[in-house]
Amino acid sequence: MKSTKAFAPATVANVSCGFDILGFAIDQMGDTVTLSEREKPGLEVLSIKGDGGKLPYESHKNTCSVAIQAMLDELGVNPGIEIRLEKGLPLGSGMGSSAASAVAALVAANELLGNPFQKNDLLPFAIAAEKAACGAGHADNVGPSLLGGFVLIRDYHPLDIIKLPVPDGLHCVLLHPHYELNTSDSRSVLRDQIPLKHATIQSGNVAGLIAGLFQADFQLISRSLRDVIAEPYRAVLIPGFYEVREAIKSAGAMGMGISGSGPTLFALCEGNEKISDIIEAAQQVYRSIGLEVDAYHSAINTRGAYIL
């Protein structure tokens, strides 16, 4: 019986100004999914490692099986597949944990079934899994996890995804405080309507960030890392948010925002020389408010998900 294995990376969604429309992938951290064919039809999650026993095994709840089922429904087939998941990402962290599982599962399933889909065409199935995980079918984690690099979702209906350039020397720091914040909870604090002046500010910054990526203009990227739509409401769920931002900008970061829906914070940096100062500055603030934090740094992952 055939078996396949795939890896999908962690991601930073929103990138401050691009709520639900921008994200990028991170090196090293991610989820691994192994699939094996079996005689009995249907999907079964057989083992999950690295989740502290917290994730669901039910096929309609785990993002691995939800994503694969959406793909099988599109193909109109019902093979027997066993799923083994190794979580390499903390849960409810804002690093696209639910997305990495779905994407790794889809890449492995596509290979198992003889590659009936192009990589891009797997996205709607991953979006269906995100909808099951947090109630919203956002693509700003699954897009970059699948494709790598910076990804823009210009539209959802129909899906229009654009890969953006990654300037050489752009690095990222992630600060993950030790608590969980579910995406559904941090979406529930957002407003349905925004003032026109905020729409103007946000559009300017999205356009500026994209222009900055195309022109490899680090100062333009830095000026554009501003969010007036989600961050003001979410920052209150993240102790030390403004103090950490102040400290790490003084230490040389280009800018900082909430990674996805938090509580992880991301910072972008030009080169990697200032990274240890930036991490130390952030850790001092977290220590002063009694929060433990894991710090990671990474170049931008341009590869996305792949078969192992």
Ligand X SMILES: N[C@@H](CCOP(=O)(O)O)C(=O)O
Ligand Y SMILES: Nc1ncnc2c1ncn2[C@@H]1O[C@H](COP(=O)(O)OP(=O)(O)O)[C@@H](O)[C@H]1O
- Residue stretches of the annotated binding site: 90-100
Map the footprint of ligand X across residues 119-138, applying CB under 6 A.
Answer: 138
Written as six digits, the tokens of 103 are 């994407």
Burial of 51 (0-12, 13-18, 19+ CB in 10 A): middle
- CA pair distance 241, 263, nearest whole angstrom: 9
Q: Which of 140, 150, 161, 282 binds ligand X (CB under 6 A)?
A: 140
Question: Which run of H or of E encompasses 181?
Answer: none
For residues 236 to 275, the per-residue mask of contacts with ligand X, x marking binding by CB under 6 A and - elsewhere, is: ------------------------xx--------------
Q: What is the DSSP string of 53-117?
A: T-S--STTTSHHHHHHHHHHHHHT---EEEEEEE--S-TTSSS-HHHHHHHHHHHHHHHHTT--S
- CA pair distance 295, 24, nearest whole angstrom: 18
Q: Which of 124, 240, 257, 260 binds ligand Y (CB under 6 A)?
A: 260
From the list 86-94, 158-166, 201-209, 283-291, the region that binds ligand Y by CB under 6 A is: 86-94
For residues 172 to 211, the per-residue mask of contacts with ligand X, x marking binding by CB under 6 A and - elsewhere, is: -----------x---x------------------------
Query: Where on the chain is the footprint of ligand X (CB under 6 A)?
Result: 13-14, 19-20, 94-96, 138, 140-141, 183, 187, 230, 260-261
Query: Where on the chain is the footprint of ligand Y (CB under 6 A)?
Result: 55-56, 61-64, 85, 91-99, 101, 133-134, 182-183, 260
